[in-house]
Structure 1
Amino acid sequence: MTDPPARPPGWDFPTDDELAALDELADEGLWALGGIEVKLTNLDKVLFPGRHGGPATTKRDLVRYAASVAPFALPYLYDRPVNLNRFPNGVDTDGFWHKAVPSHAPQWLSRWHNEGASAGDTEWYFVVDSPAAMAWMANYGAIELNPWTSRIPAVRRPTWALIDLDPGAKTSWDDLLTLARLHRTALEHLDVRAGAKVTGKRGIQIWVPVAPRYGFDETRDWVEKLSRAVGATVPDLVSWKWSKSDRSGLARLDYTQNAVNKTLVAPWSTRPAAGAPVSVPIEWDELDDPELASDRWTIRDLEGRLAEVGDPLAPLIGLDQELPPL
């Protein structure tokens, strides 16, 4: 694969005719999306059970969502290797991590060759760079898309530093909001631009854009120092133990995802839970919204949110930001 362009491409939303064609397909068939024919199978298979008495979500629903959200999601994906969390038999079954491009993948699907792979490591990674690729991933049962924090070809130079607020069994939603607000205050004090998103499950993540001149050791050390300073102000809410079983139900401020080939779920990705919840970027002041919840939005009610708010994280993509010393 060639190096990605200096500026991200634009992507079109599926047309009404394309969406109508998807609705009219039988349980399997070829779907023409953006000039690419995508082979779809088992479209009426239920992947997500309903939530609170709502309808179940089928693979057809997921394919439709993936294609429709592509213009928002692809800026986080198109120039990076992607790891998949797959649930081909639905989220009520065990999922598994998948990295390698299979031999049956269509030739039009972009991929990246990891020339530095050691014996037994993945050599060819997915690159999701078109609405058709988004639809193919949904058909493949990729419930979660997890992009690397570094771009191709400079995969050891991250462009995002990640702060993962990982709740424990005893962490309440109010506790998690407290931790997120403290990080917000710390970042504002440091004059560092960053954005938050709810994970679609229980957590909150903070994404900090960085200039691609740092190594992972530097971003990991910076996030650790920031989070330890925050954690020191509320020590009764935080554990620094590695294993969940050793944390006494407390939250972990996880800085360890700042490493090559370690990932967090992409903005606008679905999560493996009832109702097909989505990981959604939020405005900082939404941390003070009493209606906010980590799994507030699903693929069925996200359209209004996108029309009204758009993507609060998008202005930070590619920001050439220096990290101040801590």
Structure 2
Amino acid sequence: MAKTGAKKAPSPGFIEPCHPTLKKRPPNGSDWLHEIKFDGYRAQLHVHGGEVTIYSRTGLDWTREFRPIATAAKALADHDAVMDGEATVFGKTGLPDFQALRRELSKGSSARLTFQAFDLLYMDGYDLRGVPLIERKRVLRQLIGDRGGAIAYVDHLDIDEGAQVYEHACMMRLEGIVSKRKDAPYRSGRQELWTKTKCTKRDAFPIIAFVEKLGAQPRRIASLYLGRWEDDRLVYAGKAQTGYSLAAAREVRERLNPLVTGKSPLSHPIKKPKATWIAPRIQAEVEYSGVTDDGLLREPVFKGLQDEPAPSRAKPAAAATAYGRVPRVNILQLLPDAVVPSKDELTAYWMRVSDRALNFLGGRPLKLVRHVNGTTFYHKGPLPPIPPAVHQLRMQKREGGQGVRLWVDDLPGLLGLVEIGVVELHPWAATVDDIEHADTLIFDLDPGEGVSWEFVIETALRLRDLLHAEGFKAWPKLTGGKGVHLMAPLEERLTHNAVHAYAKRLAQQFAATDRERYVTSAQLSHRPGKLFLDYIRNGRGTTAVGAYSPRARAGFPVAAPVTWKDIERGLKPDAFTTSRPPTRRRGL
């Protein structure tokens, strides 16, 4: 291949992608070309020796997740090639639709999934990264042709006025454009040779509150809280913190002063200690980049006031029965300090580990931690609309009456849970085909304040030996929190009451060996400086966090099955995370 910059080389493995730098305006001039910015997952397609591999932007093997693309790439099996592109789905409007992409991925196979190829990094024995972009694209087009289908060539516009391309892209409601130097080689990492310019949206939203700049004279605002009407409900839409000149901040403060009410106008009040609530009669013009799954504006920027009054709406009586925008009837326990990954991060995580995770989570009734509209909580009561891949088990509750528990048995089910805001999964020690009998004995070693991790390890090893003497082969599970679970499979299923009684006897027997350091009471006042031997995880409907479940904590740790050698070498309970999960089925 006699192209300037091409080097003879063996077929490479994953190549770190080139990432464009975000700019407010696209570049102009004849040295640049411009492409549509697709809304999807960055992907790298490798064809080598007739085999196809597809990598995510971070180098994960997503061939199985992108199976329809891999199947289509078999048509290129006569070549060795590495293509850079975007996996996406075109929605009902004919535009790339990220939410539609996530739905299609949950199906396991979809004819709608496409790979939009915009660069060629390797071809038939030659590394092309040193070849000018315009030449790489020419060869890429020859390779793909105009076949259409699951693999498509991303064409470009060769127009001097980048602003004109950007304007048309925004008029078409696209995400934006990517501009690239025609003569540029391909370089991994963040580069100025590629730039991206995102389209922004603009709309008016009722102002529901403001935060005042402390100590400022004359008075001025620091930020505005915004609402949005959903039928007859006024809901929280986010906080605009930027875009104010000094004069505008003072003017807005004075304009809002007569509207101060002292109480939230929202249908479902939220906690905002710094807010000064007002009647929602004035609207703010706001630019924003999009809307989150929770209905909050992304990157809102204040642009001015709109004097047209918001329509008069009646607040429903149910407003007093909710926390934020989550009905109290659904909240078993609030988790006010929770930190949760995004739905996209959870989707990527479950796609990566589902085959291992379902060995522990599949086919079991689940207790759920959900994150909905900014609130994280253990769920109880009525369920939201459930995706088809998530199963429902109707059962008799302990306290009487009928209840429903969700369960899953495949990746689409896990992704369906993500759709309804599920972050943590706490499975029963029983399966859906026999919920009245436990198949596992569980001990949770929960250290109180001042208890060292070394003592937790020592206790886990001693308790393992006790369980072995009782005829059990226990395996350890790091909780992603501060402790460790000992999981002992039962050869014969027992009633939950029988398992609870047996676990209680063993825990009390063990605690009696050192009452200064162990406690079997859940009462917090008994636990400082002691290790709580929690046997209460055993019982009908009681649960422990499931292996591979993410935790709603900083860093997004996951509960992980490990080996006893891992425990002996002091592996910490938060050693694994959603971005660094266990690499194999450990401990079994």
Aligned partner of 2:467 in structure 1 is 187
Whether 2:570 is the aligned partner of 1:286: answer no
Whether 2:340 is the aligned partner of 1:59: answer no
Whether 2:170 is the aligned partner of 1:98: answer no
Aligned partner of 2:370 in structure 1 is 86
- Once the 2 structures are TM-superposed, how far is the Cα of residue 228 of structure 1 from its aligned partner? 2.4
Aligned partner of 1:35 in structure 2 is 107
**CA distance in structure 2 between the aligned counterparts of 1:168 and 1:59, rounded to whole angstroms:** 32
Partner letter of residue 96 of structure 1? F
Contact 1:164 1:206 in 2 (8 A): yes
**DSSP-derived class of the 2:503 partner:** helix
Provide, for residues 162-198 of structure 1, a one-character-per-residue CA deviation record: whole Å limited to 9, x for no partner. Answer: 1111111222211211211111222233342111111
Provide, for residues 14-39 of structure 1, a one-character-per-residue CA deviation record: whole Å limited to 9, x for no partner. Answer: 23659x6479975633421363699x
Whether 2:477 is the aligned partner of 1:174: answer no
Aligned partner of 2:65 in structure 1 is 14
Whether 2:408 is the aligned partner of 1:128: answer yes
Gaps of 5+ in 2: 1-62, 71-85, 91-95, 111-291, 299-336
**CA distance in structure 2 between the aligned counterparts of 1:139 and 1:60, rounded to whole angstroms:** 10
Contact 2:507 2:520 in 1 (8 A): no
Aligned partner of 2:522 in structure 1 is 242
Partner letter of residue 178 of structure 1? E
Return closer, same or farther for 1:215/1:62 CA change in 2, 3 Å cut-off: same
Please give the residue correspondences for 1:147-158 in structure 2 after superposition, counting only pairs within 5 Å.
147-158=427-438
Aligned partner of 1:321 in structure 2 is none
**CA distance in structure 1 between the aligned counterparts of 2:575 and 2:494, rounded to whole angstroms:** 34
Partner letter of residue 586 of structure 2? P
Provide, for residues 283-308 of structure 1, a one-character-per-residue CA deviation record: whole Å limited to 9, x for no partner. Answer: 01221114x10101111122xx41xx
Whether 2:544 is the aligned partner of 1:264: answer yes
TM-score (norm 1): 0.76
**CA distance in structure 1 between the aligned counterparts of 2:453 and 2:295, rounded to whole angstroms:** 35
Partner letter of residue 536 of structure 2? T
Aligned partner of 2:391 in structure 1 is 110
Name whichever structure is richer in strand by fraction. 2
- Once the 2 structures are TM-superposed, how far is the Cα of residue 122 of structure 1 from its aligned partner? 5.6
Contact 2:439 2:489 in 1 (8 A): yes
**DSSP-derived class of the 1:76 partner:** helix
**CA distance in structure 2 between the aligned counterparts of 1:23 and 1:203, rounded to whole angstroms:** 42
Whether 2:68 is the aligned partner of 1:68: answer no
Residues matched between the structures, number? 284
**CA distance in structure 2 between the aligned counterparts of 1:267 and 1:95, rounded to whole angstroms:** 20
**CA distance in structure 1 between the aligned counterparts of 2:347 and 2:517, rounded to whole angstroms:** 39
Contact 1:99 1:122 in 2 (8 A): no
**CA distance in structure 2 between the aligned counterparts of 1:23 and 1:238, rounded to whole angstroms:** 56
Deviating more after overlay: 164-173 vs 236-245: 236-245
**CA distance in structure 1 between the aligned counterparts of 2:408 and 2:462, rounded to whole angstroms:** 34
**DSSP-derived class of the 2:511 partner:** helix
Please give the residue correspondences for 1:176-325 in structure 2 after superposition, counting only pairs within 5 Å.
176-290=456-570, 292-302=571-581, 305-306=582-583, 310-313=584-587, 315=588
- Once the 2 structures are TM-superposed, how far is the Cα of residue 95 of structure 1 from its aligned partner? 2.2
Contact 1:200 1:277 in 2 (8 A): yes
- Once the 2 structures are TM-superposed, how far is the Cα of residue 118 of structure 1 from its aligned partner? 7.0
Contact 1:13 1:70 in 2 (8 A): no
Provide, for residues 82-108 of structure 1, a one-character-per-residue CA deviation record: whole Å limited to 9, x for no partner. Answer: 110112356xxx521125562521234
**CA distance in structure 2 between the aligned counterparts of 1:22 and 1:99, rounded to whole angstroms:** 36
Contact 2:387 2:416 in 1 (8 A): no
Aligned partner of 1:8 in structure 2 is none
- Once the 2 structures are TM-superposed, how far is the Cα of residue 251 of structure 1 from its aligned partner? 1.8
TM-score (norm 2): 0.44
Return closer, same or farther for 1:71/1:163 CA change in 2, 3 Å cut-off: same
**CA distance in structure 1 between the aligned counterparts of 2:398 and 2:511, rounded to whole angstroms:** 37
- Once the 2 structures are TM-superposed, how far is the Cα of residue 140 of structure 1 from its aligned partner? 2.4
Whether 2:140 is the aligned partner of 1:140: answer no
Contact 1:80 1:152 in 2 (8 A): yes
Contact 1:85 1:97 in 2 (8 A): yes
Provide, for residues 194-239 of structure 1, a one-character-per-residue CA deviation record: whole Å limited to 9, x for no partner. Answer: 1111100101001111134311122122222222232233332212
**CA distance in structure 2 between the aligned counterparts of 1:120 and 1:191, rounded to whole angstroms:** 36
**DSSP-derived class of the 1:214 partner:** strand
Return closer, same or farther for 1:284/1:22 CA change in 2, 3 Å cut-off: farther
Return closer, same or farther for 1:126/1:212 CA change in 2, 3 Å cut-off: farther
Provide, for residues 35-89 of structure 1, a one-character-per-residue CA deviation record: whole Å limited to 9, x for no partner. Answer: 3699xx739999xx9x9xxxx9432111110222111111222222111011235
**CA distance in structure 1 between the aligned counterparts of 2:491 and 2:454, rounded to whole angstroms:** 33
Contact 2:477 2:485 in 1 (8 A): yes
**DSSP-derived class of the 1:143 partner:** strand
**CA distance in structure 2 between the aligned counterparts of 1:108 and 1:141, rounded to whole angstroms:** 15
Gaps of 5+ in 1: 1-11, 316-326
Contact 1:28 1:42 in 2 (8 A): no
**In percent, how many aligned pairs have the same letter?**
24
Contact 2:361 2:547 in 1 (8 A): no
Partner letter of residue 433 of structure 2? P
